[in-house]
Amino acid sequence: MIRKPRPLLRAVAELLTAANGVRPLARQGYLTIPIFFLGWPTSENAPLLFTGSALDAARRGLRGDFAGRQGKAALALTATAWGLLGLIHFRNVKSAEPLEAGLRAALGDDYASVQATSQPAAAARRRSGVLRTGWSRHRYVTRSSTVRYGPHGRANLADIWRRSDLPLDGKAPVLLQVPGGAWAIGMRRPQAYPLMSDLAERGWICVSMAYRVSPRHTWPNHIIDVKRALAWVKENIADYGGDPDFVAISGGSAGGHLTALAALTPNDPQYQPGFEDADTSVVAAVPVYGRYDWFTDEGTGRPEFIAFLQRFVVKKPIAQFRQEYLDASPITRLRPDAPPFFILHGTDDSIIPVDEGRAFAKALREVSTSPVAYSEAPYAQHAFDFFGSPRGHHTADAIEHFLSWVHATRGRKD
């Protein structure tokens, strides 16, 4: 039986997909999850979607799908979807300035001239598109540079990203990359490839870690593994040409939470069982679209989030074990001697509302004596730095500028 073409239905679906990429169609309740997964690729890969849609429309046009009243209406809707995809890409390309504005506001208008004195920032770079970025790990990670940092099997593996010509005695600055995934995925691949390929090309060493995840494992195993990875890096990264005295940390979503918590609890024995004496401090932290509050149950998505933590991550009722949730919240761990922070969030994040990033940045600025930069990516969904899109590369640039500024200013102090 030959299936009858339904051009109008298909055009409506394409239009809704594009509209969801322009602005999330839902921001309340569990519907935000499918809305995110549908809108996320669209908001970062609009040219690829347009190309695929246009080629398919040409094929369907040749077979007559757009004849008649319904066909013409379908073509008009499809063309409207293409226009929305063009708007998405235009916004994506123009996202560099807002990211840099947050750095200038926190570090001063001349920060760029300071960060440019960092040796890694002066190195050549190689920029990849969406497809090539997915293969960038093969340029910088060899079989021998996948290491085991802890005793928990594959959950404690890490990839070391470095240029093959990097000298082993070069003392390159180091970034530990903590993956996201709702504390339930934690894969070291393929997150933050635009950032790590950019930094590695510029002469940095990046360590992309995995960690134990829920529901198989229970909090605080996640942060313990991050601390253990930091301890391993401090003890071993010199063998790969890295500087153990310059280790920064970054991560998105759940990785943003773990990044902020690790940076605000250096050498805390609560999260270092069996390695209490290890140095787990960092020189800078870059949490991206993170969760910083594990205890508030009012607000958009908050009741669902607390229910998720109680059932799958902490596995304890917050009413009886509230202190554990408070301890796990970076916003309760603010301290004057916090390292420099660069906090990033997307304004259209339908998983973690941008207000949470704003609140954390504001609270940290009121306490910390170090710089706290905060930037918002306009119209960006959750996980906006995942792909090698223009916004993904602009984000990588902004983070590299911040870290190179920290590297340059720290060198002056030392």
Residues taking part in catalysis: 253, 349, 382
Q: Which residues contact 122 (CB under 8 A, 6 or more apart)?
A: 116
Burial class (CB in 10 A: 0-12, 13-18, 19+), 191: buried
Query: In angstroms, rounded to a whole number, what is the distance separating the alpha carbons of residues 144 and 163?
Result: 14
Query: In angstroms, rounded to a whole number, what is the distance separating the alpha carbons of residues 287 and 395?
Result: 12
Q: Which residues contact 56 (CB under 8 A, 6 or more apart)?
A: none
Amino acid letter for position 39: G
- H runs (alpha helix) in 174-308: 193-201, 221-236, 254-264, 302-308
Amino acid letter for position 248: A
Query: In angstroms, rounded to a whole number, what is the distance separating the alpha carbons of residues 4 and 20?
Result: 27
Q: Which residue pairs, CB below 8 angstroms and at least 24 apart, start in 144-150?
A: 145/240, 147/232, 147/236, 149/209, 149/228, 149/229, 149/232, 149/233, 150/225, 150/228, 150/229, 150/232
Amino acid letter for position 84: L
